[in-house]
Structure 1
Amino acid sequence: MKNVILTSESFFSNWTIQGVVNGFIAWLFGVTGPLLIVLNSAEIGGLSDSITTSWIFAIYIVGGFSTIGLSMYYKQPIAVAFTIPGAVLVGTTLVNHSFTDVLGAYVFTSLLLLVIAVTKSTSVFMSLIPLPIMMGMVSGVLLPFGLNIFMSVLELPLINGATLLVFLLLTLYKRIGAFIPPILGAIVIGFVLLCLEQPISFNSNSFEMTVPGIFLPTFNLSTISELTIPLLVTVIAIQNAQGIAILDSLGYKAPINALTTWSGIGSLVNSFFGAHSACIAGPMTGIIADKTSGIKQYRYKSAVFMGVLWILFGLFAGFVIEVIRGIPISLIQLLAGLALLMVLKNCLVASFASKFQMGALFTFMITLSDFTLLNIGSPFWGMVFGISLSFIFEKNDFRK
């Protein structure tokens, strides 16, 4: 009983304003840009509103409970969501394959993820990739978020410009920033100015709980062969790899095989609600794991807060989507970029500060290029070519 009380006291203490804010920013990022990709894929695939709603319900509900469970168990800030490039792949696949056949590919992918986790193949895969090369891939993924900071100001000079200015001033004047975290000040100014210029309106009738559907998969060899391998790559080598690299760079020991296991379990549950693969969310993990979220051992609470918001979003997806659609995407991009700023800096330092600099550079550039081959995106090919070129030009680094 005494241990239970201590655990309870430990959980409800040591929360920080900045940690909660980072959880909110990670949530806000996850329910805007990535959500629009899912909605676009559903439209391309000709899915009904009921199927699309169920898809959204699953990816956020399953992601929310997985985030809370993993973060509290391992005491690490682990953000679980869905594979963003996988959502793009699903849209193109639905054009030529039936919805239930695509569900069959989801199930097959989930089972393969579980096999990979049981055989501990993920750990072997991750151990073969030098950390600077992995961080070069993560830097290439995150750099566009940094660039969006300045592009967003061009789109909405007054709102986004004032938001950026407040962030910089609070960062510069550390005494004020100690009481008002820079990103919190930026959020407040951004949304106040937004409401003054273009008030957000919504239909109160949409405030009702989401009712998901249950769908049974069918199995088509053609669909499975087209979708399974790309989905596996996006989960393990792109999304999970980003999250693991970020956690390791901040001094955590990411539970690699456990993350693969729960990606498989989450993906399997998702598939029966019409949703695609679950995975670790790299950029969102970067936001909640940042040093500004507080003392290292308590940063997982930022993930727990984000997970709760994830679940609420899934339960009231229709209402929240309507509100979110009223927020300019450029403001969301600005806030996400500001939240990831220090993460990006640390990733760049880890990429080029020591060994494997040539491999890290090519990985970084190829990841930025949006190069696609065999329906597999540039982060994967960045690592493939980066490791290959590093092995040719930097053999001494491999020997050491």
Structure 2
Amino acid sequence: MLIEKGYNLGGSLKILGKNISAAPIATGFVAMLFSTMGPGMIVMNAAKQGGLSDAQAVSWLLAIYVFGGLSTMFMALRYRIPSVVAFSIPGAVMLGKMIPHFAFNQVIGAYIVVALVAMILTLTGVIKKVVEHIPVPIMLGMVGGVLLSFGTNMLTATLQTPQIYGVMLAAFFLVMTFRSFSQKVPPIIVAIVVGVIMLIFYKDIKPVPFTWEIASPVFVAPAFSLRAILDISVPLFFLVIGVQNIQAVGVLMAENYEPPINAMYLVPSIVSVINSVFGGHSAVHAGPSTAICSSSAAGEKKEYRFIAAFFEGVFWFVFGLLAKVVVESVKMVPPQFTAVLAGLAMFEVFASAFKGAFNGKFRYGALVAFFVAITNLTVLNIGAPLWSIILGVVTSLLAERGDFNFSKPPVSTGEAA
């Protein structure tokens, strides 16, 4: 089968029920905060730039979070991996500039074209063959470069406001030193509680008025325009295929999971079609959220960390229904709070990525991939993550050709039910 079989959903639910604890729920919550507080505002800003109505903007949020949440829960249960189906953040930034030049239904048609092409490449096995031939250290070098900003943003916020975020970091690492206690009370929970207390103490929480209201979907019938396909579908395709999903695959490899590559491309493609008819853009597997949910913050046993992703999906679903309310309420805390939480949640992922990238073969290629990914530059409408892999592989072919093993067997997905 081209699509990995996975596990029985009912069996996964039983395992989830027997192993629910504070750690995965808290980690899923932190990942939700990270992926909604900033990205949600980016989408709203793109909608405003595109001249969309408030109803269309809220429907956009409703689609990407509700269906992203449902598909994240499905992936967690089907494959028991902590992967998160989200949406393309750089895609949203790009669309804010592109939407004004087209009728909105032509934009929707461009979204559908991206999804269909991704489906075809997945079902024909092309994507999996390409991904499986990328050396893992180069993939991890790319992941380290992409995620580096989360670590530097965390430390920047800490150095700028040590009385709040420095105390949060100290609390996090203090709890980590007491292993028996940290296994019962996740350090990230302590950091959240301490951070909120310090924000209240320094009066850095801003009250924001809002009214309770369930978001409503707005249906948009697609139309297809060659110019829209060329101007929107082509760059969006490279973001989805070569930049976004590949990050999540690399993150899971860094944590020693065997990602179901075809499913990780097909499921977001299906979700993208559903998103589009309600005004939402392309779904992807999210590297940063996947990194948070796959880290040790989600629990000591990696086989149960899928529970964190499942709960992030639950939180996303609720966020989507309350999109209008939540977008206003998240303005209560400063963005540095989320930056620190994201950095702390991914602390172990950083260590795993760097160890896997520079501790064996393909070190030169991994280093080039790391440096290119840090630049975050876009050249020829292709983002830095894809360029980092291309240039990393070229470097290894030139300087480390002996490290390649072209007869390497394909990656399996483990036991299936």
**Shared fold, TM over 0.5:** yes
Q: CA RMSD in A?
A: 1.8
**Residue in structure 2 matched with residue 31 of structure 1 by the alignment:** 36
SS of residue paired to 1:344: helix
Indicate the structure with greater helix content. 1
Offset at residue 174 of structure 1 (A): 3.0
The list of structure 1 runs, each at least 4 consecutive aligned residues, that deviate by more than 4 angstroms after superposition, is: 3-9
Deviations 1:219-249 (A, max 9, x none): 1111101222222222222211111122223
Alignment of structure 1 residues 98-177 onto 2, 5 Å: 98-177=103-182
SS of residue paired to 2:213: coil
Q: From 203, 217, 236, give the equivalent of 1:212.
A: 217
SS of residue paired to 1:325: helix
Partners of 2:383 and 2:228 in 1: CA distance:
19
Partners of 1:160 and 1:85 in 2: CA distance:
27
In the alignment, does 2:61 pair up with 1:56? yes
In the alignment, does 2:374 pair up with 1:368? yes
The more displaced of 117-126 and 92-101 is: 92-101
SS of residue paired to 2:238: helix
% identical aligned pairs: 38
Partners of 2:174 and 2:168 in 1: CA distance:
10
> Residues 255 and 349 of structure 2 are in contact (CA less than 8 Å); yes or no, is this contact kept in structure 1?
no
Partners of 2:339 and 2:214 in 1: CA distance:
28
Which letter maps to 1:10? I
**Residue in structure 1 matched with residue 199 of structure 2 by the alignment:** 194
Deviations 1:57-79 (A, max 9, x none): 00100100000011101111121
Partners of 2:23 and 2:74 in 1: CA distance:
22
Which letter maps to 1:179? K
Which letter maps to 1:84? I
> Residues 80 and 306 of structure 2 are in contact (CA less than 8 Å); yes or no, is this contact kept in structure 1?
yes
Q: TM-score, normalised by structure 1?
A: 0.95
Alignment of structure 1 residues 1-400 onto 2, 5 Å: 9-196=14-201, 197-204=203-210, 206-294=211-299, 295-399=301-405
Structure 2: gaps spanning 5 or more residues: 1-7, 407-417
Return closer, same or farther for 1:309/1:8 CA change in 2, 3 Å cut-off. Answer: closer
Offset at residue 173 of structure 1 (A): 3.2
Deviations 1:135-189 (A, max 9, x none): 1111111111011111112443322121112112112333443333211110001
Return closer, same or farther for 1:132/1:8 CA change in 2, 3 Å cut-off. Answer: closer
Deviations 1:296-328 (A, max 9, x none): 222111111111100000001111111111110
SS of residue paired to 2:271: helix
Which letter maps to 1:354? G
Deviations 1:4-41 (A, max 9, x none): 99766433111221111111111110101222222222
Deviations 1:173-218 (A, max 9, x none): 33443333211110001112223313442335x2110011000122
The more displaced of 284-293 and 22-31 is: 284-293
> Residues 162 and 190 of structure 1 are in contact (CA less than 8 Å); yes or no, is this contact kept in structure 2?
yes
Offset at residue 332 of structure 1 (A): 0.4
Offset at residue 126 of structure 1 (A): 0.1
Partners of 2:31 and 2:365 in 1: CA distance:
30
The more displaced of 59-68 and 96-105 is: 96-105
The more displaced of 287-296 and 73-82 is: 287-296
The more displaced of 238-247 and 149-158 is: 149-158
Partners of 1:6 and 1:231 in 2: CA distance:
37
Which letter maps to 1:118? L
Structure 1: gaps spanning 5 or more residues: none
> Residues 9 and 77 of structure 2 are in contact (CA less than 8 Å); yes or no, is this contact kept in structure 1?
no
Partners of 2:11 and 2:102 in 1: CA distance:
54
> Residues 188 and 297 of structure 2 are in contact (CA less than 8 Å); yes or no, is this contact kept in structure 1?
no
Which letter maps to 1:158? Q
Which letter maps to 1:25? V
SS of residue paired to 1:70: helix
> Residues 16 and 293 of structure 1 are in contact (CA less than 8 Å); yes or no, is this contact kept in structure 2?
no
The more displaced of 237-246 and 132-141 is: 237-246
Partners of 1:377 and 1:237 in 2: CA distance:
8
Deviations 1:40-98 (A, max 9, x none): 22222222211111110001001000000111011111211101121122122224333
**Residue in structure 1 matched with residue 5 of structure 2 by the alignment:** none
Q: TM-score, normalised by structure 2?
A: 0.91
